[in-house]
Amino acid sequence: MASTATKTTADAPYTLTQNASSGLAITYASSNPAVATISGNTVTIVGVGTTTITANQAGNENYNAAPQVTQTLTVTQGSTVLAGWDFFGQSSPATFAATTYNSNLNNSSSQSSLTRGTGAASSTGSNSFRTTGFQNNGISTSNTDYFEVKMQSVSGKKLTLTKIDANLIGTSSFYATPGVTSQFAYSLDGTNFTLIGSPLTTTSLSISFDLSAVSALQNVPSDKTVTIRYYASGQTNTGGWGFSSPTSGTNGLAISGYTESIPAPVITSSLTASGKVGTSFNYNITASNTPSSYSATGLPTGLSINATTGVISGTPTVAGNFDVTIGATNPTGTGTKTLVLTIAKADQTITFGSLSAKTYGDSSFALTGTSSSGLGLTYSSSDTNVATVSGSTVTIVGTGSITITASQSGDDNHNAATSVDQVLTINKKSLTIKGLSAENKTFDGTTAATLTGTPVLNGVVGSDDV
C-alpha cells in the first residue's frame, strides 16, 4: 500500500486491494471518519481533510501478526455535475425539469426547471431545448431571448459553482462562420444580472464556461438563489438554436460545482457592553455562517432579545455586572460566547420648590418634594431651635430663617441625588391686649389716665412666658 493517496470529494467509493503474504484477510480502519469511512475494503469519501488508512492482519494460530501498514489519504474538494438536463426524447418543451439534480439543492419546480425568457419561445426540434428567438443582435442582459435556470442550496449548505458545459444545436446558417456568440450571466437577486467572462464566438457545438473565478458564485449561502441565464447571438435572425442531447444519457446543459455544510455560527460582535438603569439599551449579536436564530440567557430585568434579528433591547431596571450567554444558531449548530454586560446605576434629581414664609405659632406642615426615581426624600433643618423636621412634617418652634435640605441617598439601582436647599422664614407673631378701658377725663395738664378692667394678653402660643 502506497504511503500516500489523494482523492477529491467527487470521487466514487474505491476498493483497497492489499494482500497478506499469509493469505489471511486484512482489516482496514480510517482515523478520521469525517474524511473517509471504510466498510470491509471499500473506502467512501466523506469530506475534505486528511485521514490515516491502517491495514492490519492480526495473525492466527499459525502466523504472527503482520506489521501494521498505514497510508495518508488527503481529500480535496471536488466538483461534480450538480444539475444536468438530458433532452434526449424531448421536442423542445416550453420548460424542462433537470434530469440530474443534487440532493443538497432545493428541488422545487421553480428551482430545477429550465425556463425561457419572453423572447425565446419554444420551437420544434428533436432531442433539444431550442428557440428561434435568438437573433443577430449581440449579447446584452437587457435581451429577452434567453434560457434560465435557478439554483439554491438547502438549509445548512452553501453552494459553489465551478463550470457550465453545454451541447448545442441549430440551423447551419445560424452558426455559420464565424459562429454563434454565447455567454452566460448570473444574478443573486433575480433582477440584476452580470455577464460571466467574455463572450465566446465559435462554430463548435460544444462550449464550456469556467465559473471558478466568479467570486459571487463561490460559497453562496442557502438564503440566496442563483439565477443563470444563457444568451446567444448568431448569423441570422431566424435560425433555431438551443441545447441538445444527441444520445440518451448526454446532458445538453450541465452545471458543475459542489455543496458544503455551513459551519456552526461564530459570534463576531463585541463581548462587552454597557448601559444604565432607566436608559434605553440596544446591542446587536452578529455572527458568521448565516445564523437563522439568536438567543441570550442571563439578561437583566428589562432587557429581551429578538430571536430573529439578534437585537437585545429594552430599558434595564437593575444595576450590576451580568455574564450573558449569547448564541447564534444555524442548521449545523450553535455558537455561543459570554457577553459581559455592565449596567450602571441611574442618576436621579430632586424637585423641591421654594417654601412660603410662616409665622410663629402656625400649625405643622408637610414638605412635598419628590425624586425622579420615585424614592422617598429625607429632610433636615439647619436650626432645630426654629423648626424641626420629622419625616416630611415641619414643626415650628421659634422664629428666624433656616435652611431645609432635601436629600435622596440612592439605592442598589440609583446614585445619590444632589441635595436641594430651600430657605424657610418664621416671622414673629403679633400679640394684642384685651379687657381694659380708659375713663374719660377733663384735661388737667397731666398724662395720667385711669384704666378699668382686667387686662388679657391675646395671641400667646401655648405656655410661652411673655
Q: Model confidence over 218-229: pLDDT tens digits?
A: 999 888 999 999
Where, residue-wise, is CATH 2.60.40.10 in the chain? 268-344
Contact at 8 Å (CB) between 80 and 10?
yes
Q: What is the number of other CB atoms lying within 10 angstroms of the CB of residue 69? A: 17
Architecture of domain 268-344: Sandwich (2.60)
Task: Average the pLDDT over 329-346 and give the result.
Answer: 95
Take residue 141 and report the three cell numbers written for it. 442582459
| pTM of structure | 0.64
320/310 Cα distance (integer angstroms):
22
Where, residue-wise, is CATH 2.60.40.1080 in the chain? 350-427
What proportion of the chain, given as a percentage, has pLDDT over 90?
82
- Residue 53 is predicted with a pLDDT of 96
Q: Which fold has domain 80-261?
A: Jelly Rolls (2.60.120)
Confidence class for position 459, pLDDT limits 50, 70, 90: low
Which carries the bigger pLDDT value, residue 179 or residue 110? 179
Task: Average the pLDDT over 433-453 and give the result.
Answer: 80
Residue 393, classed as helix, strand or coil, is: strand
Confidence class for position 155, pLDDT limits 50, 70, 90: confident
From 36-40, 66-70, 200-204, 439-443, the region with the lowest mean pLDDT: 439-443
What proportion of the chain, given as a percentage, has pLDDT over 70?
99
Task: Average the pLDDT over 131-147 and give the result.
Answer: 95
Instruction: Report the Cα 193 to chain-centroid distance in Å.
Output: 27
Take residue 332 and report the three cell numbers written for it. 449545523
The answer as to CATH 1.10.730 being correct for domain 6-76 is: no
- DSSP E strand stretches across 262-349: 272-276, 281-284, 293-297, 303-305, 311-314, 320-330, 333-344
255/99 Cα distance (integer angstroms):
12
Contact at 8 Å (CB) between 421 and 390?
no
- Residue 465 is predicted with a pLDDT of 66
Residue 438 has pLDDT above 80, yes or no: no
Residue from 380, 367, 382, 426 nearest 400 by CA: 426
- Residue 38 is predicted with a pLDDT of 96
Residue 441, classed as helix, strand or coil, is: coil
Integer CA distances (angstroms), 302 to 312, 315, 317, 348, 412, in order:
10, 5, 6, 19, 16
Q: Which fold has domain 350-427?
A: Immunoglobulin-like (2.60.40)
Residue from 158, 216, 78 nearest 332 by CA: 158
- Residue 239 is predicted with a pLDDT of 80
- Report the mean per-residue pLDDT for the chain: 93
Confidence class for position 437, pLDDT limits 50, 70, 90: confident
Where, residue-wise, is CATH 2.60.120 in the chain? 80-261
